[in-house]
Amino acid sequence: MALGAAFAWLVPGLGHWWIGERKRAVIFFVTITSTFWCGIAVGGVRSAITPRDNGLWIAAQICAGPQAIGALYASKRIEANAGSATANSFKAPWPAGDIGVVYSGVAGLLNLLVILDTLSRADRAKASLAAQTPLKRS
């Protein structure tokens, strides 16, 4: 069960794929991944993924998995080169920056729900399998 939750965090929908719900997995993958990266595209990586400016939104964004950690790494790299002329092109003006934060945060929160759903469905499948298996008597 915990393995399914880990899979669901690594790649949105992978936990459902692992428990055999392929169509649901594809829908979750497409929805969450596109929502996250649309938020980054609208808000810019430097505006959307910044822990200092976005407070608790970063916790929600990290729930989207390694893609959020990769975007955070890119944001840090761009901020380290903030003196260059190209660094400011990655920072979006208001309200686009805020919209990007919300989109990427909502994608993370959706993935948190998907992780919990994976745990629930895996537990239910395990209980159903146990109910179908007759008990051995000594």
Q: What's the CA gap between 106 and 123, in Å, rounded?
A: 26
Distance of CA 34 to the CA centre of its chain: 10
The H or E element that residue 3 is part of is helix 2-10
- C-alpha distances out from residue 16 to 20, 49, 62, 113, 114, Å: 6, 27, 19, 12, 8
Please report the pLDDT score of residue 57 as a whole number.
94
Q: In a 10 Å sphere around its CB, with 0-12 CB exposed, 13-18 middle and 19+ buried, how is residue 131 labelled?
A: exposed
> What tens digit of pLDDT does each residue of 64-118 get?
999 999 999 998 888 777 665 555 555 677 788 899 999 999 999 999 999 999 9
Q: What's the CA gap between 94 and 100, in Å, rounded?
A: 10
Spell out the alpha helix ranges (H) of 44-95.
45-48, 51-54, 57-62, 66-80
> What tens digit of pLDDT does each residue of 10-35 get?
999 999 999 999 999 999 999 999 99
